Amino acid sequence: MKGARKAHATRATAVVGHPVRRKDGLDKVTGAARYIDDLVLPGLLYGTTIRSTISRGEIASVHLDFDTTGFTIVSARDIPGKNVVSLIEADQPSLADGRVEHVGEAILLLAHADKERLLDVRVSIDYRPAAPVVEPELSPTTFKEITIAKGDLGRGFAEADLVVEGEYRTGHQEHLYIETNGVLAVPGDGGITVHGSLQCPYYVHRALCELLSLPERKVRVIQTETGGGFGGKEDYPSVLAGHAALLALKSGRPVKMVYDRAEDMLATTKRHPAIVRHRTGVTRDGHLTAIDIEVLLDGGAYVTLSPVVLSRGLLHATGPYRCDHVRVHGRVVKTNTPPNGAFRGFGAPQTQFAAEVHMDRIGEQLGLDPIQVRERNALRPGDTMATGQRIEANGGALRVLREAARRTRFRQRRRALRGTDRGLGVALFFHGAGFTGSGEVKLRSKATLELTRRGVRVGVTATEIGQGARTVLAQIVATALGIPYEHVEMPPADTSLAPDSGPTVASRTTMIVGRLLELAARDLKRRLRGRTPAESWRAHGPISVTKEYTPPPGLTWDEEQYVGDAYGTWAWACDVAEVELDRDTGIVRPLRITSVADIGRVIHPVMARGQMEGGTAQAVGYALTEEVVMRDGRMANAQLTNYLIPTTADTPEIDVVFVERPYRNGAFGAKGVGELPMDGGAPAIVNALRSLGADVRAVPATPERVLDALSKG
Amino acid sequence: MKGARKAHATRATAVVGHPVRRKDGLDKVTGAARYIDDLVLPGLLYGTTIRSTISRGEIASVHLDFDTTGFTIVSARDIPGKNVVSLIEADQPSLADGRVEHVGEAILLLAHADKERLLDVRVSIDYRPAAPVVEPELSPTTFKEITIAKGDLGRGFAEADLVVEGEYRTGHQEHLYIETNGVLAVPGDGGITVHGSLQCPYYVHRALCELLSLPERKVRVIQTETGGGFGGKEDYPSVLAGHAALLALKSGRPVKMVYDRAEDMLATTKRHPAIVRHRTGVTRDGHLTAIDIEVLLDGGAYVTLSPVVLSRGLLHATGPYRCDHVRVHGRVVKTNTPPNGAFRGFGAPQTQFAAEVHMDRIGEQLGLDPIQVRERNALRPGDTMATGQRIEANGGALRVLREAARRTRFRQRRRALRGTDRGLGVALFFHGAGFTGSGEVKLRSKATLELTRRGVRVGVTATEIGQGARTVLAQIVATALGIPYEHVEMPPADTSLAPDSGPTVASRTTMIVGRLLELAARDLKRRLRGRTPAESWRAHGPISVTKEYTPPPGLTWDEEQYVGDAYGTWAWACDVAEVELDRDTGIVRPLRITSVADIGRVIHPVMARGQMEGGTAQAVGYALTEEVVMRDGRMANAQLTNYLIPTTADTPEIDVVFVERPYRNGAFGAKGVGELPMDGGAPAIVNALRSLGADVRAVPATPERVLDALSKG
């Protein structure tokens, strides 16, 4: 409340670092904010999707067993361009053409003016089924394979006193954004406009151009108010937007498609399940001499973003530790389930779960406590990572580790809990901010500032998905320009109005897009020569400034060798979790998580804390309850009654501490925060269970798994 | 039910004359039909209007006494084109600029994303008031004056045995369409698209071009599903569309404006009040020798459609009677109330109320019963009207009069009721179908038929406003083309897709637009050379045929002299009303109305009957309860609790009988039906009161007026 009251008074003062009022706050609390499901256009049709009920096979025939009057019907034959969902590879069809590769694959699209009529639709499909690939370890199809190598692994193991091995598994995870996927496609002028709940307007734009065989200027993508994304609206909206656009172009009428929860869970992407094997050489006093990691990701039926998920997963696989001899090898393979895709953390939660449980096991074998074994190996300024990236002078994992141990009085508390049903666990972790490797260079993101009568208008396609992008970017602009925050206008992301500032993913928006805006604002400020925007407008009318991304000097990346600066910078964090275990039922109750994070300069303390808390809560679900049960390639528990995310009552107290070490190339020193908290919660909780004697090596640590681990312990 | 079941079976059979299923029926009953208030576009703002609270004066100053953050504000200074509502004259500003001429005149427009915020708006306006003109008889400003003259009035009165004089008054009437006025303006591509609940897309189109200074191709007007019009959506949507468009262009966002009931009643047009004076020469045996009529219409503050309302009023002023010596003179004048405008009947209900009550008074003075005095004078084939128009061989009023007298056993019933509190009254009336005089020639309406894969698509801007236009036009096309009714597509009226087929007013749609479509369909049929549309499509692709209106041969009109064929044809009708009077309270209960009508060929019997019943019910309200109380130029009873329209319980049994005399120039012989029933109900009811001794000469015949008339009788 204090923060909110203060926000009202914030005008011409510098606003970075202050909890200003959210740009989207008032509309959201008053109900004025409009989501896709709120939109109703003249002549609107509602669309629906007929999907495969088998996980692999050929389509023998399709019969429409209902009165089709008034329906628009689209099949693969109606696609004007390429039948492909354009992302990394061109392997995924927009609509199945002859064969299906997973349950839920779209075969036919239908639209009708009366939503209720869609319930009467009866379509019979005859298949010639084929044997599906279910186990990733048995998959004959590798989508992508990557190796990171440093030093001489043989030498490293030779230097070791001890080799510790282990296998760790993580399951699917459902995004469960509060708003399901939804788009509205509006035909007109020989082209299409798509409004959608989405993270990456230009991804959708590109996919539509290819699918519909339309030139860029005939396709417009506009983000509507979006109720959460978590990566689930990075890739999937390209599928859904294509479907709605096909129906809209065929019918000549606006078409809305909004999934209900069951359809969203059954048909859209999930977090990649992983199997990670560690073989680690270590000296008796606890120094790592060799790290050998093997990662296998389950990609599902199509490539989507799997290669980059694998890449990020491998780059985070060692955890934030130094070691001279490293080999990380990984593959992502095809199975016949709905494709897995982007999800907060993007491969890193899987591999760091393995790294951090493994680190506790190393400590146990050496008789070192969890803090000691980590302190000995934590990356410090000047150290190099697996790719050779050197840790900055104000970087590294040590500081957050020590701060977390100090704040939680880790050792004392652990001693105090000994013999009780409460356990304490720690996880030390990091997260690379921005696109991997030369990704940002390839993106060539642009951001525009345009003078208005009153202030400035920001032209970016960064999306507000609840995380606060609109607010943070406006804070950066207001501060750099020295104008009131209220005078910075943040229109919705619209490909026809703003340049491509890159996708809203990879914890890059504040750091990268914010930095572009900071530079644009400083430039604009020089051009104002001491005048206010209003004065300048009156004198000269509109001015606009566009900035394009250029990499900070000295950053190098070799994509072939996987050597160099994998990320411009890294955020660092340490979680300490205290849990209570019911040894009879196996039910784990997380009591408190302390999260100490270095995300660089904090632009908006309330929202940054919100990101940490939300991500940690999502990690609690990942750790304990969120289990996707796949049966014959179909999610068998696609409902909120048996896919369990933490409710408020299940979420522990979360204590967030920021260690602000500014990053010189981020907006006002900011790094990323969105994904970081997803990486640490699960290993911290599982390590707390270890301290209670439960040797859990897979998440979610369901009561069954915990009881099993206890019985073996 | 029988009709409905039959409709399902109607396919390739001729459908004119059959009660086929309404084109708009299913969507309306299932709730799939979308009205303006249902539409929500991305970025939508809601607009509101700040209005004058005085009836005449200058605006001294305007102060905004609220936090204007987030509001778009438009005043007269923001108008890019001419500050005018383009109709007949350019006298009405879109937004008051310096002075106001009526209560409710729009001064300022505001829009905000949050509808609730519009409730917080506080605007103080200081005026320098001037004395308003309240009484039309005292108005110094005549908008329009017209004289119709025939024969030699002096000679006519010289031939008379008796001269009967009388003054008759009618009040305002509120349209009370079930859906209030509403539009949605969407900016884009340097132009504007307006969706609206409206009758005349091209009227709105023209008004927007002028107001916004936009070329025709940059303005698009699309009708949404419309919940009734009754003429109230002929003129007013041009005002409201202009307002929403101004807000949309200034904000760059879609703007919706939907009036609530009170605002709709306070600010929009009403039926013109009238004072009509008759002086009639008549022979002892009941023949009319001279008719001298003086009409005064109250136009309200601006011209709107008053000149044509006056014209139609005068052309119907004699009633359907023959007389060699006629003078009809009328004026419409300015008063400081909201402008009056188009309303079902369009001047004719006012003047025919006077004519028909006067005719009963003539009969009384001569000792002739109401049927006798009318039979003697009713227009017959070969007779000429006041303008010299000759009655067709199958035309005239006599047949419907005799049929009504026969059906109701008028004389017997009247005798039977003598001495009771029940009275029986008759009214004989007519209504010119289509635009007056050379109106249709000037309109040059066009209609298009376009072959589709399955049938045809109709291209007209005739609007479905509940009356059934979409259905009737499709019946005409299906029948003329010999294809199933279901294969005729009726898209919503859209100025960007269909040519101007003229406004949906003046009972012209079935007769004129239907006829154009009939001719287009016959033409298309010839071009199909025996093939079905589907076969032709496969062989040759799309074909389209456009027909433009040409007047039937022999039709002449002299606008200067008011001589000639005022209408292509006339519909004829006779109402007999039985009422019950409570002599203590003055409350009148209408018990039954029999309406015998000649509307030419009946295209859809159920809907034609619906038009007759609805119009008669509206006439019952006009006759008895619908009283607009103007106080200081403001409607003092702008609410449904004290502006009383007949409920189902107040509506008498209505017995409709069609006498089908086909009109050779109408679609399949059809004339118009929409306005006709509005003309007869009020005089029939008031004449029934006369038979009970209440000499009522004004409507509404409220209990106060009835008691007053009884006390004088």
- CA nearest to A196 within chain B: B42
CA-derived radius of gyration, chain B: 25
The verdict on B42 touching A (C-beta cutoff 8 Å) is yes
CATH 3.30.365.10 fits A2-33+439-548, yes or no: yes
Domains of chain B, residue spans: 2-33+439-548, 37-131+176-267, 274-437+560-712
Q: Which of A114, A195, A486 sits opposite B27 (nearest CB)?
A: A114
Tokens read off for A231: 């990566």
Q: CA of A511, closest CA in chain B: separation in Å? A: 28
- In 3D space, the residue among A280, A429, A284, A281 whose CA is nearest the CA of residue A350 turns out to be A429
pLDDT tens for A22-49 read: 999 999 998 899 999 999 999 999 999 9
Residue A5 has pLDDT above 50, yes or no: no
CA dist B638 and B628 (Å) reads: 8
- In 3D space, the residue among B273, B276, B330 whose CA is nearest the CA of residue B135 turns out to be B273
User: Looking at residue A712, what is its pLDDT?
Assistant: 80
Cβ distance of A41 and B39 shorter than 8 Å: yes
Evaluate whether ipTM surpasses 0.95. no
If phi over 0 gives left and psi between -120 and 50 gives alpha, with beta otherwise, what is residue B576? Answer: beta
Size of interface A-B (CB pairs under 8 A): 53
The verdict on A45 touching B (C-beta cutoff 8 Å) is no
The verdict on B195 touching A (C-beta cutoff 8 Å) is yes
Cβ distance of A114 and B189 shorter than 8 Å: no
CA dist B661 and B601 (Å) reads: 6
The total number of residues shown for chain A amounts to 713
pLDDT along chain B (713 residues), means of 10: 37 77 94 94 96 98 94 98 94 97 98 93 97 96 98 98 98 98 95 98 98 98 97 97 98 97 97 98 98 98 97 98 98 98 98 98 97 98 97 96 98 97 98 94 96 95 97 98 95 96 96 98 95 92 94 93 96 98 97 98 97 98 98 95 96 97 96 97 98 97 97 78
Higher local confidence (pLDDT), A86 or A311? A311
Q: How many CA atoms lie within 13 A of B220 on its CB side?
A: 20
Candidate CATH numbers 1.10.3720.10, 3.30.365.10, 2.60.120.10, 1.10.357.10; the one for domain A274-437+560-712: 3.30.365.10
The verdict on A69 touching B (C-beta cutoff 8 Å) is yes
CA dist A321 and A561 (Å) reads: 21
Alpha-carbon dihedral of residues A124, A128, A134, A139, nearest 10 degrees?
A: -140
Q: Which of A27, A43, A115 sits opposite B113 (nearest CB)?
A: A27
Q: Which of B27, B32, B42 sits opposite A34 (nearest CB)?
A: B42
pTM above 0.80, yes or no: yes
Report H helices in B370-438. 370-377, 398-408, 410-417
- CA nearest to A491 within chain B: B43
The verdict on A190 touching B (C-beta cutoff 8 Å) is no
Tell me which chain B residues have a C-beta less than 8 angstroms from the C-beta of A30: 114, 116-117
Q: CA of B114, closest CA in chain A: separation in Å? A: 5
User: Looking at residue B599, what is its pLDDT?
Assistant: 98
Query: Percent of chain A, pLDDT > 90?
Result: 95
Q: Which fold has domain B37-131+176-267?
A: Aldehyde Oxidoreductase; domain 4 (3.30.365)
The verdict on A30 touching B (C-beta cutoff 8 Å) is yes
Where do we find the tokens 């990572």?
A: A385
Q: CA of B98, closest CA in chain A: separation in Å? A: 26
Residue A1 has pLDDT above 80, yes or no: no
Q: Which of B30, B40, B486 sits opposite A34 (nearest CB)?
A: B40
Tell me which chain B residues have a C-beta less than 8 angstroms from the C-beta of A189: 189
The β-bridge relationship of strands A162-170 and A274-282 is antiparallel
Q: Please tell me if the domain spanning B2-33+439-548 has the same topology as the one spanning B274-437+560-712.
A: yes
Q: Which of B32, B40, B114 sits opposite A38 (nearest CB)?
A: B40
User: Looking at residue A137, what is its pLDDT?
Assistant: 96
Q: Is the Cβ–Cβ distance between A96 and A84 less than 8 Å?
A: no
Q: CA of B43, closest CA in chain A: separation in Å? A: 8
Query: pLDDT category, A189, cuts 50, 70, 90?
Result: confident
Instruction: Classify residue A60 by burial, with Cβ atoms within 10 Å: 0-12, 13-18, 19+.
Output: exposed
Q: How many CA atoms lie within 13 A of B252 on its CB side?
A: 4
Tell me which chain A residues have a C-beta less than 8 angstroms from the C-beta of B195: 42
The CA distances from residue A649 to A590, A617, A646, A653, in Å, are: 10, 11, 7, 10
The verdict on A226 touching B (C-beta cutoff 8 Å) is no
User: Looking at residue A502, what is its pLDDT?
Assistant: 96
Q: How many CA atoms lie within 13 A of B668 on its CB side?
A: 27
User: Looking at residue A14, what is its pLDDT?
Assistant: 64
Tokens read off for A246: 């096909």
Q: Which of B41, B195, B224 to mutate to test the interface with A (most CBs of A within 10 A)?
A: B41
In sequence order, what are the beta bridge partners of A144? A332
Where do we find the tokens 């040894």?
A: A583
CA dist B318 and B680 (Å) reads: 14
User: Looking at residue B712, what is its pLDDT?
Assistant: 80
Q: CA of A43, closest CA in chain B: separation in Å? A: 8
Mean pLDDT on A497-508: 96
User: Looking at residue A13, what is its pLDDT?
Assistant: 54
Residue A8 has pLDDT above 60, yes or no: no
- Taken in order B207, B211, B217, B219, the sign of the CA dihedral is negative
Cβ distance of A42 and B42 shorter than 8 Å: no
List, in order, residues 6 or more apart from B577 with CB less than 8 Å away: B424, B425, B426, B427, B590, B592, B593, B652, B681, B684, B685, B687, B688
Residue A315 has pLDDT above 90, yes or no: yes
Q: Which of B40, B113, B486 sits opposite A39 (nearest CB)?
A: B40
Tell me which chain A residues have a C-beta less than 8 angstroms from the C-beta of B226: none
User: Looking at residue B14, what is its pLDDT?
Assistant: 64
Q: Is A89 helix (H, G, I), strand (E, B) or coil?
A: coil
Mean pLDDT on A10-16: 62
Cβ distance of A116 and B32 shorter than 8 Å: yes
Q: Which of B42, B115, B184 sits opposite A224 (nearest CB)?
A: B42
Tokens read off for A702: 């369901």
Tokens read off for A255: 């078409």
CA dist B458 and B491 (Å) reads: 7
Tokens read off for A387: 């790719």
Tokens read off for A577: 């979790």
pLDDT tens for A62-107 read: 999 999 989 999 999 999 999 999 988 999 999 999 999 999 999 9
Q: Is the Cβ–Cβ distance between B359 and B164 less than 8 Å?
A: no
The torsion angles phi and psi of A377, rounded to 5 degrees, stand at -115, -10
CA dist A325 and A691 (Å) reads: 30
User: Looking at residue A647, what is its pLDDT?
Assistant: 95
